[in-house]
Amino acid sequence: MSRAAILPRKAGARTPQIGRYGVTAVAAGLLSLSSGGLLLAQNPEEVEVRVTHVAGTVHMLEGAGGNVGVSAGPDGVLLVDDQFDWMADKIRAAIAKLGSDKPRFVLNTHWHGDHTGGNASFAANGTLIAHRRVRERLAEGLRRDSGRETPPAPPEALPVISFDESLTVHFNGETIVALHFPHSHTDGDSVIYFEQANVVHMGDLFFSGRFPFIDLESGGSVEGLIHAVESVLARIPADAKLIPGHGPLSKPSDLEAYHEMLISTSALVRQQIASGKSLEEIQQLGLGERWQSWSWQFIDEQRFIETLYRGLAGQPFPAGSYKQH
């Protein structure tokens, strides 16, 4: 994978900035995500971390929350995302077997607590990095239309490096590039490219084989997500390996299928909106047999239709409609 193929194509990118940002606190026992779907009232003691070697220095960890990317080699350990706070000790035990339980760097793909919850634990020995909007959202917190509130991050969880468009880390013989895709899953999502290993960590731009959570209240966009996936597909080789935010280790063909689902379902809902149908009428009609298997515990067909409808029609979510993962 060439560097020229994955860096932003426009000139004038700003220099990465030193700063501080926070981490969302998500209490154990509430909603959480794992590679297998939604887990309710989860017992942390029952969660196991599965380690998969992907390519080169890169591994994938699956436990509770978003998938974690790991680069382990002579320079030490680098993490991409760190799940929930209560998973930190289990992640440490897993990465200790790869070389060190003290990662030197942690890159957050976006601000949600199932990807940033371990920040406070890992910040004691490592440097936390994220897009500027991740820093801002974690530091500010969020009160959703449903009334549910995510408080601002505690100071001890705040990282020290933020960036606007892209950032590069040279580590373990890898050129590791974080590239921002605005207004997609949220407004602060980054895709992480491991150039030498030919591995891409997609964060929550990619829910492999399932309907995605598009966080409209955090600056996410249906059309922006489609554009971001198209951009990634145009940049990566056919033999790249993809770590999704949720779901199994994947291939570009899996991302193509995901893109086709987004295109087809959004076109259908857009057409029905144009014909004057209400949300309830569109939900009653459904998305068709082809996409039934993409429903899962957290985002079923009805909830995904609501996301598409409100995202495409520009309507806010009513109280109680959505919960953050």
Contact between 43 and 63 under an 8 Å Cβ cutoff? The reply is: no
Per-residue pLDDT tens for 95-145?
A: 999 999 999 999 999 999 999 999 999 999 999 999 999 989 888 888 787
How much is the average pLDDT of 84-89?
A: 94
Contact between 77 and 103 under an 8 Å Cβ cutoff? The reply is: yes
For residues 252 and 19, which has the higher predicted lDDT (pLDDT)? 252
pLDDT for position 315: 60
Nearest to 307 by CA among 158, 159, 207: 207
Spatial distance between the Cα atoms of 138 and 80, rounded to a whole number of angstroms: 17
Domains for the chain: give ranges and CATH numbers.
16-262 (3.60.15.10)
Nearest to 45 by CA among 66, 64, 25: 64
**Where are any strands of DSSP class E within the chain?**
17-18, 32-34, 37-39, 50-55, 58-62, 68-73, 76-80, 105-107, 127-131, 142-143, 149-150, 161-163, 166-171, 174-181, 189-194, 199-207, 241-246
pLDDT for position 316: 53
pLDDT for position 299: 96
Token pair 């194509």 is at which residue?
9
Per-residue pLDDT tens for 3-12?
A: 334 443 333 3
For residues 158 and 203, which has the higher predicted lDDT (pLDDT)? 203
Spatial distance between the Cα atoms of 244 and 175, rounded to a whole number of angstroms: 20
